[in-house]
Amino acid sequence: MKLLISGEGPSDLGACNNAQGQCVDGDFNRGPMAVWLARLWENLISYNLLDVSEAIVYVSEKLLAQRAKESGKRMMRLRGKKQEAETGLFFSNAQQLGLTALQLAADHNTPVMAVLFRDADGTRSAPGQMWQAKWKSIVDGFSSVAFELGVPMLPKPKSEAWLLCAGQTGQHSHGALETISGNDDSPNSAKKQWAALVGAQLSAAEEAEWCDAHPADWQGLLTMPSFKAFFDRFHQVANAILQPGRATV
């Protein structure tokens, strides 16, 4: 089994350090969300994929965009004329990641889970339907190339809200964190609140290290609808990989 991932940069899933758009192992700098993905898999298979050679493959957003451009109008037609520009980008990213996953699976004769991370962003005044539209665009992008093992990872408004939740205690619902502004210039933005919680502006490597031990369990995060949607889809796909024929995607 391989895990194919694509994010927006070092502070979410990570980044390549080899000046290439695709990387593995030592050429990949893990981000905090990659640590969480590895922890979720470790709960199921009892070992950490980050410790296994070439088990995790990272593809940059830039490379996906380049591949979409090279694929030309044939793939664009699959989007549909009414696709919004922003959600259309999510669709295209998922489409290209799905194609990459299919090729990777064929080359190595193994199942591949593909996880596409994108911040939902937005502001408190943004329509509630926008997150759902972006989620659907990712799902539809995977489906357009008949790839069934795709997982959207779409924090609302962005990954710092999930990190904030992981740093809080108590059994109450943390869903209100999803109403924080995703605009980093806002005085109470998710990014600023996260920095205040940990007492500093952490580097991506420091955030990844923090995520090794936080949260102690996923219960608090599961009160955030955007995390629960990701968590449920992750396990649906993981079960299809681990128990083929017994789980549906």
Instruction: Give CA–CA dist 160/211, Å, rounded.
Output: 12
Give how far Cα 11 sits from Cα of 16, 32, 137, 221, 245, Å. Answer: 12, 7, 23, 18, 36
Domain boundaries, the chain: 2-160+225-242
The answer to whether the beta carbons of residues 100 and 108 sit under 8 Å apart is: no
SS3 2: strand
pLDDT (tens digit, 9 = 90+) per residue, 108-126?
Answer: 999 999 999 999 985 554 4
Nearest to 170 by CA among 222, 220, 228: 220
Give how far Cα 75 sits from Cα of 32, 68, 91, Å. Answer: 32, 8, 11
The answer to whether the beta carbons of residues 135 and 225 sit under 8 Å apart is: no
pLDDT (tens digit, 9 = 90+) per residue, 199-222?
Answer: 999 999 999 999 999 999 999 999
- Checking if the pLDDT of 37 tops 60, the result is yes
Full-model pTM:
0.92
The answer to whether the beta carbons of residues 4 and 113 sit under 8 Å apart is: yes
pLDDT (tens digit, 9 = 90+) per residue, 58-92?
Answer: 999 999 999 999 987 445 444 444 445 558 899 99
